[in-house]
Amino acid sequence: MRLLHTMLRVGNLEQSLAFYTKVLGMRQLRRKDYPDGKFTLAFVGYQDESEGAVIELTHNWDTPSYDLGNGYGHIALEVEDAYEACARIKAKGGKVTREAGPMKHGQTVIAFVEDPDGYKIELIQHKPQAG
């Protein structure tokens, strides 16, 4: 078994695609409209689906927004430099909700950003392997 994708319901597909591709630097891998069901599926990621997990953006045409509830946590992305990533994301219009810095009770450098629908994305600074 392997992890294929995580699905997020989005209110404005074009706005979400712009965030994930232009702000976070993912690629749109595929997209398909389902007119009979009135929804569109778009898949984004840093690598092809055959090589790793991706994000499925589901846009139900008649639903402009969603209540995220309190069960959702976040998506985590590894970055080389969390401070630089925050600066780049802000420069592209992205929303940083927690600036880069060491995590509470730890040393790992993290930051949090939010996509247009309010989903949280954690940026975790890469730690070189010891040895």
> Which of the residues are catalytic?
122
Cβ atoms of residues 55 and 21 within 8 Å: no
Tell me the pairing of strands 120-125 and 109-114: antiparallel
Angle, vertex CA 59, rays to CA 95 and CA 122, nearest 5: 30
As to burial, measured by CB atoms within 10 angstroms (0-12 exposed, 13-18 middle, 19+ buried), residue 90 is: middle
Please name the residue that has the structure tokens 């010891």: 130
The sign one gets for the Cα dihedral 18, 19, 22, 27 is negative
Nearest to 12 by CA among 119, 103, 121: 119
